[in-house]
Chains A and B, each alone.
Chain A
Amino acid sequence: DMKVTQMPRYLIKRMGENVLLECGQDMSHETMYWYRQDPGLGLQLIYISYDVDSNSEGDIPKGYRVSRKKREHFSLILDSAKTNQTSVYFCASSLYRSSYEQYFGPGTRLTVL
């Protein structure tokens, strides 16, 4: 069963704290993505990873960094979280390029107080 998992599902942090969001996939997909979704908006791309240690900025990378040391695992890190980073974060993966279907995880709802 093809699956993208995200941990944790819900997270509350205080401004200035560090945040680690984790994503895993069991499909050996090359490409992985991090998006954020805010109310009334579509998904905004934060980072793309083409493979292990091959990452590229998306449309809104400021304030975020990523790590991909294994093909099946992709992390999003917020160093010193800000209140405007309160959002729902989605991880996705695709076999190769996005010409192929992107499989999304269930999302992590992050609240920064």
Chain B
Amino acid sequence: SQWGEENLQALSIQEGEDVTMNCSYKTYTTVVHWYRQDSGRGPALIILIRSNEREKRSGRLRATLDTSSQSSSLSITAAQCEDTAVYFCATELNMGYKLTFGTGTSLLVDP
């Protein structure tokens, strides 16, 4: 799992497997963003989940949010090679103007 103070996590899976990445955060938030970053590029938002949603799906992605335990997860079903990237969670502070990013999970999907 990723956390503001942990080192970058790394996962390696085979194509077709399911994978779940976890994110724990310290400060109360009502929104968690999940971004993916491909090598040599800037991060891009893939899913955003609000506290009143608890679970959100987008294609093969599924995000959950548990504000009581201050944790979120991102699952990818039937991972593909093109899912290889670094995945960051980010939480909102300061009335939504500021995002605090986790340290990221590096996912490698082998063919």
Contacts and interface: CB of A to CB of B under 8 A. Distances in A.
Contact of B42 (A40, A50, A101, A106): A106
Contact of B43 (A43, A44, A97): A43
Q: Which one of A43, A90, A102, A105 has the greatest number of beta carbons of chain B within 10 Å?
A: A43
A21 interface: no
B95 A42 contact: no
A42 B104 contact: yes
B108 to A, nearest CB: 16
Contacts of A42: 2, 4, 88, 101-104
A104 to B, nearest CB: 3
A99 B45 CA distance: 12
Given A40-B8, A92-B42, A98 B104 contact: no
A107 B88 contact: no
Nearest to A97: B96
A99 B41 CA distance: 22
Top 5 A-B residue pairs of the complex, sorted by shortest distance between their CB atoms: A104-B42, A42-B101, A97-B96, A99-B96, A43-B101
Given A45-B100, A105-B42, 14 more contacts: A31-B97, A42-B2, A42-B103, A43-B101, A44-B101, A45-B98, A48-B98, A56-B97, A90-B42, A92-B42, A98-B92, A102-B45, A106-B40, A107-B41
Interface of A: 4, 31, 40-45, 48, 50, 56, 58, 90, 92, 97-99, 101-102, 104-107
